[in-house]
Structure 1
Amino acid sequence: MKRTIITLAISAIVFGTTSQAQAAGFQLAEYSSTGLGRAFAGEAAMADNASAQSRNPAMLTYLNGRQLSAGGIYVMPNIDVTGDIAITSPLLGAQIMHVPASAHDVAGNAFVPNFYYSNQLNEQWTWGLTVNSNYGLATEIDTTHAAAIFGNETAITTVEFNPNVAYRINEQFSVGGGLRVVYGEGSISATTPAWVGAIKSNPALPAAVAARLPDTGMTLKAMEGDDIALGWKLGASWQINSDHRLGLAYHSGVELELDGHASGLLYDGGQDLSIDGYLPIELPAFAELASYNQLTEKFAMHASINWTQWSVFDQLVAYFPGEQKPVSGVESDLVKDENFKDNWRYALGGTYQLNNDWLVRAGLALDKTAVEDQYRTTTIPDSDRLWFSMGAGYQASKNLTVDFAVTYIRMYGDAPINEQQNLAGLALVNFDGEASGDVWLAGVQLSYKM
């Protein structure tokens, strides 16, 4: 299989559609439109429909009979990276060249679908299946953009398949577990910015030196490939009484070995070479502690604390085990230092039953960034996020429920970016800027009891 060496940004495509990640790092939160309406507050303790097993497999024991739930969320990001580039090079003498390097709308719109099934076997046992995605992000700028040397395109596709099973111990306690089968594919490329051509065409530049500079828009590094890896998840639920419930869930990390080939001037020297390579990357473990509280006959509140082990995303190192090595002769290449840290997410939401047919939802969340200011990059412009969500559920028939939701996510606080790149020893390139933006999410979920 072709596999990918990812760098800089890493992003998700579910069933072939690309999405800007809406949680910290490149984690996706959009697993159902039901949960979206309350900003995914209380998810590990909720059992609205078959999608409940995605966060906590133990919640399967609260689902009667056989149930199907499917839907999708349309993601509309507006992410900007603004700043300037300073080029220091002996080719410029004592002069420092400054170039505007702002990029707008670096992530396109996308549709993220999902599918869930649950089957109650008896009073104790229930099993289920899920197909969704938990990670991803995509960024892209023009091949001649001033910041293209840091990466003009990066993407990863992750699709996750989970068979799950749950057991009701008694009226208070349930446990569950599942297997995580994760398929991931991705691509990355960095190209020569237009300002390299401006330096190259300088009549004062010696011809021999100009010949060493790559042409504008030329691929410097490119990698692509895919892999399948396994993980697991566990969950538990405590029904304190008929009105209050706690849920706890843990999803293991998943180690992908993106194995494929590398190309580009800095790897193949402009020759027609096929360089085999692979890049290990661990998708981080994550956990959630959640509560469900029925405060009145019609009103319930939900809360969540989420943790993600982003500290495993430290470095991206590519390895070249085949006979054909990069032109540098190295067997490994430090693609990028990432230096992520573990992050936390806090959410609070509510549900109000208007009548027999309609209920409404709302929620707020604070999603803390997974990167310190000094390590933020142009291709993973991660920052703190605030979520504002609202939604509604309609009981269309005895067995069919339709959920609608919309969310606005705002990046807040300072998100400075200062990144350096060495251009083949000929120039030191420094980007100085910041990231900003917002995202709109809109989704629908259909749930059917058979």
Structure 2
Amino acid sequence: MKKYSLISLLALASLSAQAEGYQVNTFSPKQEGMGHVGVAMKLGAESNIFNPAAVAFSNKTLELSAGVSAISALGSCTYEGKKYETDNGVSTPFNVSAAFRIYDNLYAGLSLYTPYGSSINWGENWPGAILNQSVDLKVFTVQPTVSWRVLPNLSVGAGLMIGWGSVDLNKGLVTPESFDRFLPIAGMLSGTQMPSTIGNVVPASVNLTGDTQLALGFNVGVMYDINTRWTVGVSYRSKMNMKVKKGIARVSYAANDKISQELLGGSLDLLNSTNFAAEMPCPYVLTFGVSYKPIDKLILAFDAQLNGWSAYKQLDIEFDNLAEYDQHLTKKYKDAWTFHLGGQYSLTERLDLRAGVMLDLSPVNREYYNPETPGMTKIEPSVGLSFRPMPQLSIDFAFMYVFGTGADGVVGSYDNLLAKKANPALDQLAQARPELAPVVAGLKMPETGEFKADYMTRALIPAIGVSYSF
């Protein structure tokens, strides 16, 4: 079983990169329209997420807001001169926030939002299926918040983050090329005639599903009005560790292909009765922000956001009652910055216009690349507007375009499952029949493989929201 459980462990490694590739920056349709900036802005209930300190600058008794985005992402891969594209569903991260006054300088709030989550689907039989076929990751956070205005121009705030999520991942266990090379070996070892090829069909795949336990973290912030024109803010969302404790593995085989199940099923099917546990860090986010009002109708803002991905050095995986199979897979991510720049102009008392841009630098180590979320630096321009049919009610629209700068010539490595099965058997055959040693030497398979390709990603993110206050 050890030979095959190692392959499923490699599949689990893609749990984490999904968070990097689509770290969700859609906490507010208003702010999405101006580059998702907001740490030094007074956003009412939505500041629960951006900077808890800002909530106390409100002059409202109650504020409510809700929004949803629709992420339509397209990934492409060019391998050996041929282009392959993903067939993704639409992800819908959302946010709901409320804030209410306790005293004039003390507010409390509550938010529910999705800091990480997306989906990607390359298909079952594309050339990189050994690294990933599809993945669907969702992470949710609920955050109660308290905000205190210590001085007329200074406030502090803090919130408790409670997170949970789920993962559903599919990947190939054996490449068609390695299986074709294994067929004559299996025929020699068994003394039976085998077909010459399986074609381009992935012989065996694994599905990994699991729900995470509750994870705890905190969100704290400070805001200071330098004067009536300039405001600065700092916020810090702590790291949370998302743990899958009782994940389920399910193995499947190529449709209408009995040979792959006959040759592989005896060992691979053991995975169906094994639970796995894995741990994935959601990194800390430290953001410095400044906003400036050159005139009363215009506000400009800039945020510099440091994402603490260096916490993700390896992926730890454990099997129930199988401690000898525990794995610690190297990832070596690095900390990465995201920069936000945006502006809002109040065209009339009822209409606000917004525009912005976000630059998201990738933390992915190119030596450990995986296509479940093609990691690369992204440039993300956006526009938006708010319309107020009445003073208390705002209807918000935004649109963001995600442009990946590309990742060329990156390599994803994988273990060759069949080499772990065939090579020891061939060695035994050569020892038993020395006259076959030259033939056996030519049949031995490499124990690792590489998938070298060029990647690109794009995404369209429309958003709509509504807010009400009195």
TM-score tier after normalising by the smaller chain length: 0.7 to 0.9
- Which residue number in structure 1 is paired with residue 422 of structure 2? none
- Which residue number in structure 2 is paired with residue 404 of structure 1? 397
Q: 2:463 aligns with which of 429, 434, 443?
A: 443
Is 2:120 aligned against 1:114?
no
Q: Deviations over 1:102-127 (max 9, x none)?
A: 53125432222211101011111100
Q: 1:48 aligns with which of 18, 33, 43?
A: 43
CA distance in 2, matches of 1:447, 1:348: 23
Is 2:277 aligned against 1:278?
yes
For 1:232, give the aligned amino acid: F
Q: SS of the counterpart of 2:71?
A: strand
- Which residue number in structure 1 is paired with residue 13 of structure 2? 7
Q: 1:61 aligns with which of 9, 33, 56?
A: 56
- Which residue number in structure 1 is paired with residue 188 of structure 2? 206
Q: Deviations over 1:393-430 (max 9, x none)?
A: 11111210111111111111544320121222524321
Q: Deviations over 1:184-225 (max 9, x none)?
A: 2113332244445544556995363979x9994422573533
CA RMSD, 1 decimal:
2.8
- Which residue number in structure 1 is paired with residue 8 of structure 2? none
Q: SS of the counterpart of 2:117?
A: coil
Instruction: Check 1:147–1:102 CA distance in 2 against 1; reply closer, same or farther (3 A cut).
Output: farther
Matches within 5 A, 1:339-378: 339-378=332-371
Q: Deviations over 1:15-48 (max 9, x none)?
A: xxxxxx6xx544211111011000112x111223
Matches within 5 A, 1:393-432: 393-426=386-419, 427=446, 428-432=448-452
- Which residue number in structure 1 is paired with residue 258 of structure 2? none
CA distance in 2, matches of 1:344, 1:196: 40
Matches within 5 A, 1:258-297: 258-263=244-249, 264=251, 269-271=268-270, 273-297=272-296
- Which residue number in structure 1 is paired with residue 309 of structure 2? 310
May I ask how many residue pairs the two structures share in their alignment?
413
CA distance in 2, matches of 1:174, 1:9: 38
Instruction: Check 1:183–1:272 CA distance in 2 against 1; reply closer, same or farther (3 A cut).
Output: closer
- Which residue number in structure 1 is paired with residue 257 of structure 2? none
- Alpha-carbon contact 2:91-2:118 (below 8 Å) kept: no
Q: Deviations over 1:65-117 (max 9, x none)?
A: 10110111111112112224xxxxxxxxxxxxxxx775312543222221110
- Alpha-carbon contact 1:221-1:266 (below 8 Å) kept: no
Q: SS of the counterpart of 2:48?
A: helix
Q: 2:324 aligns with which of 321, 327, 330?
A: 330
CA distance in 2, matches of 1:203, 1:300: 70
- Which residue number in structure 2 is paired with residue 177 of structure 1? 158
Instruction: Check 1:254–1:401 CA distance in 2 against 1; reply closer, same or farther (3 A cut).
Output: same
CA distance in 1, matches of 2:102, 2:269: 61
Instruction: Check 1:267–1:150 CA distance in 2 against 1; reply closer, same or farther (3 A cut).
Output: farther
Instruction: Check 1:266–1:136 CA distance in 2 against 1; reply closer, same or farther (3 A cut).
Output: farther
- Alpha-carbon contact 1:7-1:188 (below 8 Å) kept: no
CA distance in 1, matches of 2:325, 2:265: 14
Cα distance, 1:435 vs structure 2: 1.2
Q: Percent identity?
A: 19
For 2:390, give the aligned amino acid: S
Cα distance, 1:266 vs structure 2: 9.7
- Alpha-carbon contact 1:180-1:230 (below 8 Å) kept: yes
Instruction: Check 1:269–1:162 CA distance in 2 against 1; reply closer, same or farther (3 A cut).
Output: same
CA distance in 2, matches of 1:397, 1:80: 45
Instruction: Check 1:413–1:149 CA distance in 2 against 1; reply closer, same or farther (3 A cut).
Output: closer
CA distance in 2, matches of 1:383, 1:304: 20
Query: What's the TM-score, normalizing by structure 2?
Result: 0.81
Instruction: Check 1:273–1:383 CA distance in 2 against 1; reply closer, same or farther (3 A cut).
Output: closer
Cα distance, 1:226 vs structure 2: 2.3
CA distance in 1, matches of 2:468, 2:186: 72
Q: 1:387 aligns with which of 369, 380, 402?
A: 380
Q: Which has the higher helix share?
A: 2
For 1:241, give the aligned amino acid: N
